Amino acid sequence: MTVSSPASGEEVPGAVASRLTGRAVTGVRPLSGALAEAVLDDGRTVVVKRAEDPEAARAEAAGLRWLAEAGAPPVPCLHGREGAWLVLDRVTEGRPGRETALRFGRELAGLHAAGAPAFGAPPPGGPVEAFIGLAPMRNVTGDDWPVWYAEHRVLPYLRRAVDAGTLDAGEADVVERVCARLPDLAGPAEPPARLHGDLWNGNVLWGADGRVRVIDPAAHGGHRETDLAMLALFGCPLLDAVLEGYQETAPLAEGWRARVGVHQLFPLLVHAVLFGRGYAGQALAAARSALSL
């Protein structure tokens, strides 16, 4: 459900939660500048989130619905969007466990198998001008993954990093050489997968009910190895078990481990643009590793 934002601009999380859930709010607890918890009169707790931009909220809402259509892994129930506001069920978190990790891997394989119309395809109702975290991300479609990945994922962020002085021209050349060789580095051709798109550990919630839920998607059609490479990038509990469950359901093409750096180039360059030189060094290391294949 989408409701127009009030013109006053004086909204508070409790009022938004009440309108989008249809329940009275008995209490609100701020979590950060952008997040709050609201307790409803039926005892449930929801999370009220304010995005940086209404289009970011629209992209996230569309992504959550698209992931939910696949059936698993589950996402928090989205009660609705109102301008830049989103209201979702709160996830009660538990501890990572091996069986939960195996199930998450199997469910992630199922999500990817649900597919997408093309590489770069946005979720239905989602904007072309979307976001990954706080960075803009254009969902322009293509049929050839190596060409699409270079043109619409790697090179736009490389240019931004160079323009900001985070990478110099010689360093950029290393990444450009990877892009030129992508048709040989990408492995066997695969159909577009339905990606979460920003699947780092902070967006993976280990529920108290023994299931993983994923949040904050940058959903689009892409290569399934990209989600898995993102899981590995910043560390994920029991990643070996997650991969075991995934491989049981949808075995990855031979050589996938050697291609992890290729798929990590995109998120590393995004982080270089957002957070600076430290991530630029990691992106260069990933590029040099790819060139050694």
**Are 55 and 133 contained in the same domain?**
no
Residue 292 CB-density burial (10 A; 0-12 exposed, 13-18 middle, 19+ buried): exposed
**Are 85 and 188 contained in the same domain?**
no
**Are 171 and 281 contained in the same domain?**
yes
**If pLDDT is split at 50, 70 and 90, which confidence band does 3 have?**
very low
Coil/strand/helix, residue 261: helix
Q: What is the mean pLDDT of residues 115-120?
A: 98
N-term to C-term CA, the chain: 48
Q: What is the mean pLDDT of residues 249-269?
A: 96
Q: Across the chain, what does the average pLDDT equal?
A: 93
Residue 77, Cα to own-chain centre: how many angstroms?
A: 17
**Are 244 and 165 contained in the same domain?**
yes
Q: Are 261 and 291 in contact (CB under 8 A)?
A: no
Range of the domain at 70: 2-89
pLDDT of residue 122: 97
Give residue-wise pLDDT tens across range 167-197: 999 999 999 999 999 999 999 999 999 999 9
Q: Has residue 5 got a pLDDT over 70?
A: no
Where does a domain end: 65, 89, 113? Answer: 89
Nearest in space to 152 (alpha carbons), one of 245, 221, 80, 229: 221
pLDDT of residue 6: 38
CATH number at residue 44: 3.30.200.20
Quote the CA–CA distance of 142 and 184 in Å, as a whole number: 18
**If pLDDT is split at 50, 70 and 90, which confidence band does 32 have?**
confident
Quote the CA–CA distance of 57 and 53 in Å, as a whole number: 7
Share of the chain above pLDDT 70, in %: 97
Residue 265, Cα to own-chain centre: how many angstroms?
A: 15
Is 168 one of the catalytic residues?
Answer: no
Q: Which residue among the candidates 89, 168, 198, 240 is catalytic per the annotation?
A: 198
pLDDT of residue 292: 86
Give residue-wise pLDDT tens across range 48-93: 999 988 999 999 999 999 999 999 999 999 999 999 999 999 999 9
Quote the CA–CA distance of 21 and 232 in Å, as a whole number: 36
pLDDT of residue 8: 40
Quote the CA–CA distance of 218 and 31 in Å, as a whole number: 22
**If pLDDT is split at 50, 70 and 90, which confidence band does 254 have?**
very high
CATH number at residue 287: 3.90.1200.10
**Are 40 and 184 contained in the same domain?**
no
Quote the CA–CA distance of 250 and 271 in Å, as a whole number: 30
**Are 209 and 253 contained in the same domain?**
yes
At position 33, the amino acid (one-letter code) is G
**Are 81 and 105 contained in the same domain?**
no
Q: What is the mean pLDDT of residues 119-143?
A: 95
pLDDT of residue 247: 98
